[in-house]
């Protein structure tokens, strides 16, 4: 999906909400557990309930890979169920030497046909460029993440700048705003204005809203691009596990609509 199509969807739906399908079998409603396709059944219900009030779905691949071959089948079936007009992200955080990244890109852009994938830039340009070779696909580079451990490396100073600033300044030369985004955690909203000064045109994928405590108002104030939004604001647990009962899909929709009003 192109950047222009994503912008059009955001403007039409008046939201930049991305729903994270980080489905944990241990947390889904009890009445679904024990069914052969419990995760897929859960995912389908969430998608049915939220597809009209979000513009993207992010599948965290670890929640499926941990299940072995069956997990890959579930991920593929979930991806196939998402309406084709909605942006899809493989939250896989891949990044390796060039020939390995080429295979990762083939796996997620050809075999599974995601629109985008998250990647780690810390092995340098040759680990990211194989993903950028795909037309009409988006590579989402980790910049300043929401986890506490980001202080270990991302927020270290190198000379007069932080490591994450160096990542932004260097990597933005590898692609364009049409085929690259950046991950910036909502819990790091105070740095968004500074980040926007470095990458004024790139979309930002913002995890950490909801259960992780990120402030939506700050994200919108400091991270947006006038007229384009320039953001995908992700919420996972707050939506997925809004209820542990048979009304889980209804409650998930209510949470999505609550966020819709804040980020439209």
Q: Are 78 and 86 in contact (CB under 8 A)?
A: no
Give the whole-angstrom CA distance, residue 166 versus residue 118. 18
44 is catalytic: no
Count other C-beta atoms under 10 Å from residue 142's C-beta.
22
Which residues, at least 6 apart from 81, have a Cβ–Cβ distance to it below 8 Å? 40, 43, 44, 47
Pairs from 166-171 (Cβ < 8 Å, separation ≥ 24): 167/121, 167/122, 167/141, 167/142, 167/143, 168/143, 168/195, 168/198, 168/199, 169/198, 170/125, 171/121, 171/125, 171/128, 171/141
Query: One of 5, 13, 44, 93 is an active-site residue; which one?
Result: 93
CB-CB contact of 140 with 181 (8 Å): yes
Residues recognised as catalytic: 93
């Amino acid at each position: 999906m192109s950047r222009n199509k994503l912008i059009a969807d955001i403007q039409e739906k008046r939201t930049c909400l991305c729903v994270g399908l980080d489905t944990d079998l241990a947390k889904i409603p009890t009445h679904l557990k024990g069914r052969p396709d419990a995760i897929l059944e859960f995912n389908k219900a969430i998608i049915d309930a939220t597809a009209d009030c979000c513009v993207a779905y992010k599948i965290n691949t670890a929640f499926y890979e941990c299940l072995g071959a069956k997990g890959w089948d579930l991920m593929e079936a979930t991806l196939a169920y998402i309406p084709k007009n909605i942006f899809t992200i493989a939250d896989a955080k891949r990044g390796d030497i060039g020939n390995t990244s080429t295979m990762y890109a083939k796996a997620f852009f050809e075999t599974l046909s995601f629109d985008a994938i998250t990647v780690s830039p810390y092995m340098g340009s040759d680990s990211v460029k194989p993903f950028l070779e795909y037309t009409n696909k988006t590579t989402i580079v980790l910049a300043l993440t929401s986890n506490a451990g980001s202080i270990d490396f991302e927020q270290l100073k190198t000379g007069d700048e932080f490591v994450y600033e160096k990542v932004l300044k260097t990597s933005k030369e590898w692609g364009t705003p049409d085929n690259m985004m950046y991950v910036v955690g909502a819990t790091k909203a105070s740095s968004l204005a500074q980040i926007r000064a470095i990458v004024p045109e790139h979309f930002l994928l913002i995890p950490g809203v909801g259960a992780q405590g990120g402030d939506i108002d700050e994200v919108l104030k400091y991270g947006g691009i006038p007229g384009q939004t320039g953001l995908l604001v992700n919420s996972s647990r707050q939506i997925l596990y809004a209820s542990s009962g048979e009304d889980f899909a209804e409650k998930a929709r209510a949470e999505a609509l609550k966020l819709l009003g804040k980020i439209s």
